[in-house]
């Protein structure tokens, strides 16, 4: 029931991009492949724990609003399937596990961990005062690849910021699509989602622009690391999936938003990682 509350399956969104960043760090000589097992374990623990804490905090902060929204009133807290005290305890444990994982990685990760928690918690308040809460959510996920690079290298390389930007733009775009479902409720409740303020048609147009910008960031990322044809094929696959995602949703037909939101974006992140990991693996074999 707890995993249902935090939508555990949605961890597939950012995790493959973080794994890609870790692989890029190895590809760039920041760590030997044979030394990565322990680091990857703690990166995964940190990612899952941070996301669990963030989702639980979001559910707690939005419990009253979720109870008023017909689409979300059956969620665990407003439906009283889980108590607030349990949720706060789960949040504290998740945050503690995240801090432990960051400490196991390196000193810089541990020092930045409270800032990361602050960013992902801050998102939950933003739709109360800005129409660009979607970008804040994007940034909260976008820091994951940079964090994974730091976990491996112990420092930041400006090149990995292309991937952080790509994830930020991608997340902001699909969150705008998802928020279209609450267009009328957000307007009536005075919430500042982009669709509620600017309308469904403009919101979907912005989502397309953000996803096009994401693809450009990925092209710059591939160029900056000198990757090969498989990485470009991965970008082409991402672009094709995003085009398909936008074909599923129209301003006058939101019946396939869930398919566009979860199913397609799950394929985006996983297939991107597979193509890029294969590219880096082929490059590594060529050097042996």
**Cβ pair 149, 25 in contact under 8 A:** yes
Categorize the per-residue pLDDT at 216 as very low, low, confident or very high, splitting at 50, 70 and 90.
very high
Residue 263, CA atoms < 13 Å, CB-side half-sphere: 9
- Catalogue all structural domains in the chain, each as residue range(s) with its CATH number: 2-287 (1.10.357.140)
Residue 52 has pLDDT above 90, yes or no: yes
pLDDT confidence of residue 104: 97
The conformation of residue 259, written as its DSSP 8-state character, comes to I
Kindly give, in sequence order, each residue whose CB lies less than 8 Å from that of residue 142, ignoring residues fewer than 6 positions away.
164, 165, 166, 167, 168, 171
In 3-state terms, what secondary structure has residue 250?
A: strand
Taking 90 as the threshold, does the pLDDT of residue 179 lie above it?
A: yes
Task: Reply yes or no on whether the pLDDT at 249 is more than 80.
Answer: yes
Residues 6+ apart with CB under 8 A from 37: none
pLDDT level of residue 260 (50, 70, 90 thresholds): confident
Average pLDDT over the chain reads 92
Instruction: Report pLDDT for 201.
Output: 96
Provide mean pLDDT across the span 156-171.
Answer: 97
CB 106 within 8 A of CB 150: yes
Question: Which stretches within the chain are classed as H helix?
Answer: 2-5, 15-27, 36-61, 63-68, 84-105, 107-126, 133-153, 161-179, 183-189, 194-198, 200-225, 229-247, 257-258, 265-287
pLDDT digits (tens, 9 = 90+) for 104-154: 999 999 999 999 999 999 999 999 999 999 999 999 999 999 999 999 999
Give the mean pLDDT of 146-175.
Answer: 96
Residues 232-246: what's their mean pLDDT?
97
- Report percent pLDDT > 70 for the chain: 94
What tokens were used for 187? Answer: 């307007």
Mean pLDDT of 202-225: 98
Q: Name the residue with higher pLDDT: 59 or 282.
A: 59
pLDDT, average across residues 50-67: 95
pLDDT exceeds 70 at position 251: yes
* pLDDT for 282 beyond 90: no
pLDDT score for 4: 57
Name the pTM for this structure.
Answer: 0.94
Q: Give the residues across from 253 on adjacent strands.
A: 250
The pLDDT of residue 11 is 64
């Amino acid at each position: 029931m707890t995993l249902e509350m935090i939508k555990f399956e949605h961890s597939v969104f950012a995790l493959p991009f973080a794994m890609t960043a870790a692989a890029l760090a190895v590809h760039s000589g920041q760590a030997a492949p044979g030394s990565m097992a322990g680091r990857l374990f703690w990166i995964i623990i940190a990612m899952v724990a941070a996301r669990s804490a963030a989702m639980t905090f979001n559910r707690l902060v939005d419990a009253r609003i979720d109870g008023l929204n017909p689409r979300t009133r059956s969620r665990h807290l407003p439906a009283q399937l889980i108590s607030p005290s349990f949720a706060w305890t789960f949040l504290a444990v998740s945050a503690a596990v995240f801090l432990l994982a960051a400490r196991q990685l390196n000193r810089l990760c541990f020092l930045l961990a409270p800032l990361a928690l602050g960013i992902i918690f801050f998102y939950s308040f933003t739709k109360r005062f800005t129409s660009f809460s979607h970008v804040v959510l994007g940034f909260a996920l976008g820091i994951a690849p940079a964090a994974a690079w730091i976990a491996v290298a112990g420092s930041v390389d400006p090149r990995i910021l292309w991937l952080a930007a790509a994830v930020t733009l991608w997340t902001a775009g699909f969150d705008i699509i998802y928020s279209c479902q609450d267009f009328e409720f957000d307007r009536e409740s005075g919430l500042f989602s982009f669709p509620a303020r600017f309308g469904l048609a403009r919101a979907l147009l912005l989502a397309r622009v953000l996803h096009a910008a994401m693809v450009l960031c990925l092209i710059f990322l591939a160029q900056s690391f000198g990757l090969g044809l498989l990485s470009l094929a991965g970008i082409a696959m991402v672009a094709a999936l995003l085009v398909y995602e936008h074909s599923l949703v129209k301003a006058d037909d939101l019946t396939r938003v869930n398919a566009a939101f979860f199913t397609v974006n799950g394929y985006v992140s996983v297939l991107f990682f597979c193509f890029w990991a294969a590219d880096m693996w082929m490059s590594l074999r060529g050097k042996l």
